[in-house]
Amino acid sequence: MRVKLENLTRIFPNRNKGGDDVVAVNNFTYEIPDGKLVGLLGPSGCGKSTSLYMICGLQKPTSGKIYFGDEDVTDLAPEHRGVGLVFQNYALYPHMTVKQNILFPLQNLKGEDKLDKDTMLERAYEVARLVQIDELMDRKPAELSGGQQQRVAIARALVKMPRVLLLDEPLSNLDARLRLQTREEIKKIQQSTGITTVFVTHDQEEAMSISDSIVVMKLGVVQQTGAPQDVYDNPINLFVAKFLGTPPINVFDGEVKDGALYIGEDKVLATPNVKDQKVYVGIRPEGFIPAEKGALHCSLQNVEVMGRDVSIVSTNKALSSQSANKVIRSIVDADTKIDRNAKEVAFNIKPNKIFLFNKKTEERIIVGK
Ligand code: ATP
């Protein structure tokens, strides 16, 4: 099912006298192709959940339209939209068994949607097998691990064969290992069922790893949409560049002068077709190549061995207040030769890993060829 959002806006009136209304979602236009998984991504309060609740019908948009296929569902009640919703806190009925929890949405079907008992059971077991909890059908939620409870919640959302599956931070309550495993399972389930899915998370790594496309939001406004790798490789502004990637991008104060980019005194990149100006310079951790006569000179602080990679921690006076780090973190292969006792380290910079941003607007400045 294709989902189309058209100029979707949600404004919450301010309850304090004289305060401004909260524009939780501002003019969100986007089309989710049939059968794809889209990650809504952004920091707390950026409007992810509000967007999701408008798609499922729990929140009414102040303006704008929502289409499932060609059908305008903007004013349709949630129960008639054919959506399955999974929350962070599972929300299972504690007094019911797993089986009863999964059957519950089917037992509530009315009129011509009503199913006979055998069909309901068949469906319940089918989705339970899909999420691998068919052995646990007679347990109560309290007798399950967090990961198992979340699978029951997913099974319960899938049992009505929704047209659209909506997941609101579904992995937040799981520990690191289980998060990893469950996100892979969600991706598999989504691919095998082909249900168009919207996945809300503030965790960029999670969104990037399972989404066909991501939507990065800030203060209710969509900043950038696209395939995760494309957005990572071509951030449209400093916010997106900083939000994607671990360790985060290193941000420096820099200056374009006479066709070249300077960080402090160091001339690090040719910048044809960019006019002279002060800029923010973002360099991804994997963009640094240690080299004896490298262009960027830094003070070496530490070398951290991380198995496959080595993290070189260094400092530079031009590191910007915009940087998420107080130090420069560069990631290089473990077999790269580094003198750990040296006071200084120099790097050449991979041109496709360095980005320039306008100091005022923080928009990306594209460097010509
Ligand atoms: P989080 O990751 O913390 O859940 P989010 O990105 O999902 O955040 P939303 O819950 O969509 O963000 O909230 C977006 C903005 O709308 C926030 O500023 C929030 O305070 C505001 N907001 C949400 N619901 C209401 C409400 N019912 N009344 C007033 N303001 C609201």
Query: Could you give all domains of the chain from N- to C-terminal order, each with its CATH number?
Result: 3-239 (3.40.50.300), 248-365 (no CATH)
Pocket test of ligand 1: the residue of 9, 20, 46, 50 to mutate, having most ligand atoms within 8 Å of its CB, is 50
For the chain, how far is it from start to end, CA to CA, in angstroms?
Answer: 42
What is the structure's pLDDT at 334? Answer: 86
Counting other chains too, the contacts that 219-227 makes at CB distance below 8 Å and 24 or more residues apart are: 219/23, 219/26, 219/45, 219/46, 219/47, 220/23, 220/24, 220/25, 220/26, 220/46, 220/47, 220/50, 221/26, 221/27, 222/28, 222/29, 222/30, 223/42, 225/30
Q: Residue of the nearest CA to atom 27 in ligand 1?
A: 12
What is the structure's pLDDT at 215? Answer: 97
Ligand 1 atom with least separation from CA of 25 = 14
Ligand 1 atom with least separation from CA of 202 = 2
197 CA distance to ligand 1 middle (Å): 21
What is the structure's pLDDT at 213? Answer: 97
249-260 residues labelled b (16+ CB within 10 A) or e (exposed): bbbbbbbbeeee
82: left (phi over 0), alpha (psi -120 to 50) or beta: left
Ligand 1 atom with least separation from CA of 47 = 11
Contact 357, 363 (CB under 8 A): yes
What is the structure's pLDDT at 306? Answer: 82
Contact 168, 87 (CB under 8 A): yes
Ligand 1 atom with least separation from CA of 53 = 11
Distance CA 92, CA 105 (A): 12
Per-residue confidence in pLDDT tens, the chain, 369 aa: 999 999 999 999 887 777 788 999 999 999 999 999 999 999 999 999 999 999 999 999 999 999 999 999 999 999 889 999 988 776 889 999 999 999 998 988 777 778 888 999 999 999 899 888 889 999 999 999 888 898 899 899 989 889 999 999 888 877 888 888 888 888 988 998 899 999 999 899 999 999 999 999 999 999 999 999 999 999 999 999 999 998 999 999 999 999 999 999 999 999 998 999 999 999 999 999 999 999 999 999 999 988 889 999 999 999 999 888 889 999 999 888 888 889 999 999 999 999 999 999 999 999 977
**Ligand 1 site, CB within 6 A:** 12, 22, 24, 42, 44-50, 202
Q: Residue of the nearest CA to atom 29 in ligand 1?
A: 12
Q: Residue of the nearest CA to atom 15 in ligand 1?
A: 24
What is the structure's pLDDT at 90? Answer: 67
10 CA distance to ligand 1 middle (Å): 10
Ligand 1 atom with least separation from CA of 200 = 7
Distance CA 53, CA 318 (A): 43
239 CA distance to ligand 1 middle (Å): 19
Q: Residue of the nearest CA to atom 18 in ligand 1?
A: 45
Ligand 1 atom with least separation from CA of 10 = 16
